[in-house]
């Protein structure tokens, strides 16, 4: 499964392939928002532009879903590596810097250290539930239907 490496927080979080980056961060208690976003955000609709992340590394090109139309519009004056977490689906492992608009004193060192540690290839597979594979040896009862033709 993909791993999201949150560089600022120095945390790796596993998620299902295709999960929404914002939802994973919120679930795991990773703070995405600066003050403005904490005071009020759009709840993931792509309208408040407060859930920025900077994608600083990927296990595979295209680890996140492509930028949405909302992102193309809202992020046109931002670096190409920035995404709106609420618009991004995680397909493969990524390294992200939350709140890139907020300074991080030793950002270059932290990013280099995070990149130096290998990311899992992911996704491996959706988790499999114990098989409900019923014995297919059951004799199937073939019911003979009457030949009623109208």
**Which among 40-48, 90-98, 117-125, 127-135 is the span making contact with ligand FES, rule CB under 6 A?**
40-48
Residue 57: strand pairing partners: 95
Among the listed ranges 37-45, 92-100, 114-122, 131-139, the one in contact with ligand FES (CB under 6 A) is 37-45
Q: Which of 4, 15, 84, 114 binds ligand FES (CB under 6 A)?
A: 84
Residue 41 sits in the site that holds ligand FES (CB under 6 A): yes
Q: Which residues contact 137 (CB under 8 A, 6 or more apart)?
A: none
> Does 44 contact ligand FES by CB under 6 A?
yes
Neighbours of 100 (CB within 10 A): 21
- The CA-atom distances, in angstroms, between 69 and each of 21, 78, 85, 144 are 17, 15, 14, 56
Q: Rule CB under 6 A: choose which of 51, 56, 96, 119 binds ligand FES.
A: 51
């Amino acid at each position: 499964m993909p791993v999201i490496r949150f560089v600022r927080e120095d945390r790796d979080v596993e998620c299902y392939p295709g999960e929404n980056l914002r939802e994973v961060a919120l679930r795991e208690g990773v703070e995405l928002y600066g003050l403005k976003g904490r005071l009020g955000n759009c709840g993931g609709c792509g309208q408040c532009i407060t859930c920025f992340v900077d994608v600083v590394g990927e296990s595979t090109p295209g680890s996140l879903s492509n930028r949405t139309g909302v992102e193309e519009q809202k992020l046109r004056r931002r670096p190409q590596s920035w995404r709106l977490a609420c618009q991004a689906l995680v397909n493969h492992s990524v390294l992200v810097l939350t709140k890139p608009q907020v300074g991080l004193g030793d950002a270059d060192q932290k990013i280099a250290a995070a990149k130096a540690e290998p990311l899992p290839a992911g996704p491996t597979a959706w988790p499999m539930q114990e098989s409900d594979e019923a014995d297919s040896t059951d004799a199937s009862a073939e019911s003979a239907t009457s030949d009623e033709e109208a």
